[in-house]
Amino acid sequence: MSSITAVASGSKISVNLRRYPYWLAGAVFIALFSINVCLQPRFIEWGSIQSNLTTYLPLIILTTGQTYVVLGGSVDLSIGAIVSLVNVLGVRSIEYLGGSPTAILEGIGLSLAVGLGAGFLNGIAVGLLRLQPIVAMFATSIVFSGLALYVMPQAGGTLPDSYFQTYSGSILWLPVPLLILIVTLVATTLVSKSRFYTYLLATGGNGQAAFQTGLPIKTIRVQSHIIAGLAAAVASLCILGETGSGDPLLGPAFTLSTVSGVVLGGTALSGGFGSITGSVLGAATLGLINSLIFFSKLPYYLQPLVQGVILLAALAGGVFVSRKQ
Nearest distance from C-beta of residue 9 to another protein, angstroms = 5
Q: Hey, is 299 helix, strand or coil?
A: coil
DSSP label at residue 41: G
Which residues in 237-276 contact another protein (CB under 8 A)? Answer: 268, 272-273
Nearest distance from C-beta of residue 120 to another protein, angstroms = 20
Can you tell me which of 195, 297, 323, 324 binds another protein, judged by CB under 8 A?
A: 195
DSSP label at residue 171: E
Task: Fill in the per-residue mask, 42 to 81: x = in contact with another protein (CB under 8 A), - = not in contact.
Answer: ----------------------------------------
Can you tell me which of 9, 38, 129, 297 binds another protein, judged by CB under 8 A?
A: 9
Residue 20 is a binding residue for another protein (CB under 8 A)? no
Q: Give me the amino acid identity at 211.
A: F
Burial class (CB in 10 A: 0-12, 13-18, 19+), 25: buried
Q: How many CA atoms lie within 13 A of 101 on its CB side?
A: 3
Q: How many CA atoms lie within 13 A of 116 on its CB side?
A: 6
Contact window for another protein (CB under 8 A) among 13-21, 36-44, 48-56, 165-173: 13-21
Can you tell me which of 205, 243, 306, 321 binds another protein, judged by CB under 8 A?
A: 205
Can you tell me which of 37, 44, 182, 209 binds another protein, judged by CB under 8 A?
A: 209
Contact window for another protein (CB under 8 A) among 2-10, 162-170, 177-185, 287-295: 2-10
Nearest distance from C-beta of residue 214 to another protein, angstroms = 5
Q: Which of 26, 28, 118 lies closest to 80, judged by CA?
A: 118
Contact window for another protein (CB under 8 A) among 80-88, 174-182, 210-218, 299-307: 210-218
- Nearest to another protein of 172, 212 (CB atom): 212
Under 8 Å between Cβ of 184 and 233: no
Contact window for another protein (CB under 8 A) among 49-57, 91-99, 150-158, 205-213: 205-213
Can you tell me which of 88, 152, 202, 314 binds another protein, judged by CB under 8 A?
A: 202
- Nearest to another protein of 82, 226 (CB atom): 226
Sort residue 40 into left (φ over 0), alpha (ψ -120 to 50) or beta. beta
Start-to-end CA span in the chain (Å): 27
Rounded Cα gap, residues 297 and 156, in angstroms: 32
Q: Which of 221, 251, 204 lies closest to 87, judged by CA?
A: 251
**H or E element that contains 170:** strand 170-171
Rounded Cα gap, residues 179 and 187, in angstroms: 12
Nearest distance from C-beta of residue 8 to another protein, angstroms = 9
Q: Which of 101, 65, 104, 103 lies closest to 83, judged by CA?
A: 65
Nearest distance from C-beta of residue 266 to another protein, angstroms = 12
- Nearest to another protein of 273, 294 (CB atom): 273
Nearest distance from C-beta of residue 11 to another protein, angstroms = 11
Adjacent-strand bridge partners of 156: 246
Count residues binding another protein (CB under 8 A): 33
Measured CA to CA in angstroms, residue 158 lies from 78, 85, 234, 241 at distances of 25, 16, 18, 11
- Binding residues vs another protein (CB under 8 A): 1-2, 4-7, 9-10, 15, 18-19, 190, 193-196, 198-199, 201-202, 204-206, 208-210, 212-215, 268, 272-273
